[in-house]
Structure 1
Amino acid sequence: MGYKVAVVGATGNVGREMLNILAERHFPIDEIAALASRRSLGTEVSFGDKTLKTQDLATFDFTGWDIALFAIGSDATKEYAPKAAKAGCVVIDNSSLYRYDPDVPLIVPECNADAIVGYKKKNIIANPNCSTAQMVVALKPLHDRAKIKRVVVSTYQSVSGSGKDAIDELWDQTKGLYVPGQEVAPSVYPKQIAFNVIPHIDVFMEDGSTKEEWKMVAETKKIIDPSIKVTATCVRVPVFVGHSEAVNIEFEEHLDEEEAREILRTAPGCLVVDKREDGGYVTPVECVGDFATFISRIRQDPTIDNGLNIWVVSDNLRKGAALNAVQIAEVLGNKVLQKAEA
């Protein structure tokens, strides 16, 4: 049995990746539609060995469609997601619009798949922020064993998290620095990103944190446990694809680094690469195109009771966005839609 699936925002980086992953994972599809704004009407996108022409989101009728994967901004999602949901199509939304709505489940399948049943209140499921998604995949199995009290995380986030224009800006600035007179001024970012790092992602909030940092706090609490204290510093780095995170964890109980390593080796979605030698860890370049959340540098933190440090790397366009959305669709199909049709 297959489903009728619409990918909304199919011409963007995440939308294209959603189509790739649906094909790679052989998601059961009877019919697929690639939707985009009117200005992208007719643009061709790939789905496995097929080529799809985009259709106009503004005029598309979601009646009779099972699942819509949304990869557009919050403003457009606010307009079209309720229309799709009202038509009976379950929306899996990659924007931040519904993540903090108590009537919308925020799902990372490796962590809280059972919470998906809450989608019935609005017919909408939220996909978490890219930096949160990979972190909670690593945290959840450790929390189940020793209960996490506090997390201190510093992120090193690639420019692809800001979209195609940001990728182009990094590329053009890098080239421009080598050609006198062809320097490229910042436009996507407030400062030069080439050969630089920028401790600023999303807008600043009154307490001095950025919205990206706030997202990591709020989403970790909603996905894993509201009692966990989280503090984050989110930094944009000159990497095209792949987010990295240095995560310091304080537990209620002692957790030996060897046991933590074994827990993570068997945890869903995790791949441990942790050798104490040159190159015995994973970097963003190596994670591109992979489904896994890679974990390295697992070690005790001797400065606090029950402390542990880990290094977490993942392809942000995959686990941080498109892959997680498709995994949600898989859970939805297996746990909910099939039962409804039975």
Structure 2
Amino acid sequence: MKRRNFMQSSMLAGASLLTTSVLNAATLSSCNTAVTDTDTDKPFRLNYGVHDGMFKNHAGDNFIDQIKFAYDRGFRAIEDNGMSSRPADQQKKIGDTLASLGMGMGVFVQPGLGNDTNLLAAGTADHLDKFIASCKEAVEVSKRVNNKLFTVVPGDFVRNLPIGIQTANVIEAIKKGTAIIEPHGLVMVLEPLSDNPNLFLRTPDQAYAICKAVGSPSCKILYDMYHVQRNQGNIIPTLDMVYDEIGYYQIGDNPGRNEPGTGEVNYKNIFKHIYNKGYKGILGMEHGNAGKGKEGELALIKAYREADSFI
């Protein structure tokens, strides 16, 4: 998304003198709020969480160096889907870095399980045991990185069981998992996905019903706006309907799953809506960079400055 600035002078009638520095400063015509060069490294209004690789062209392959670069650009959080697979000492170093910078940690993905093995809808003892073990491991990972959130995907449909039975099986499994994590203040966020039609959990209202049935503060919804847009659209009204059970947001424009402004989703309006509802948590930047190299990374930062300029 391109941004233009203009400068008006009372000494010039009907003419503007445009300079390079003026072009680099954004004028947000939709809300009459100007972003100047001195604003570019200030913290954002909402708390966007970067991920490993997002700024590797500027900061190198080391995630900790990328975190420091992101901090200098105004970001105050990370998320890391693969955190649980990192060595424990690396998890601790990342956690210590975040603490020293005053940054937050969003989600990591439930340890050790994916859609193919996390078949909670089946209701079998084997799948339940694996899920319980992963919840116990999540507690340990969370301690090292000092976060409170991890993502859970219930897995695929089980075609030989009625949908009501499958839903009951998922609810019972989640209840057993929350019994483990709730004493530690952890929250599992259930993520509806759009990746393929075999997935059990696909819409926020479905996740909402499960969270209400589980009845624990340790079971909430991961509202990934990329997946919501692909599955059903209607992002803001749907968000309002399930808001009291949302524990986390993720971002990605569609099509392409890149930064805001590269697709069809009006993220400036959505961010304004989330901000006005009083959300204080992290919004995970679970998307790619539309552009390549350092230029693509700078364009991503610029896109977030634009989308975040909603006041």
TM-score calculated relative to the size of structure 2: 0.29
Decide which structure has greater helix share: 2
> Over alpha carbons, which structure has the higher Rg?
2
Decide which structure has greater strand share: 1
TM-score calculated relative to the size of structure 1: 0.27
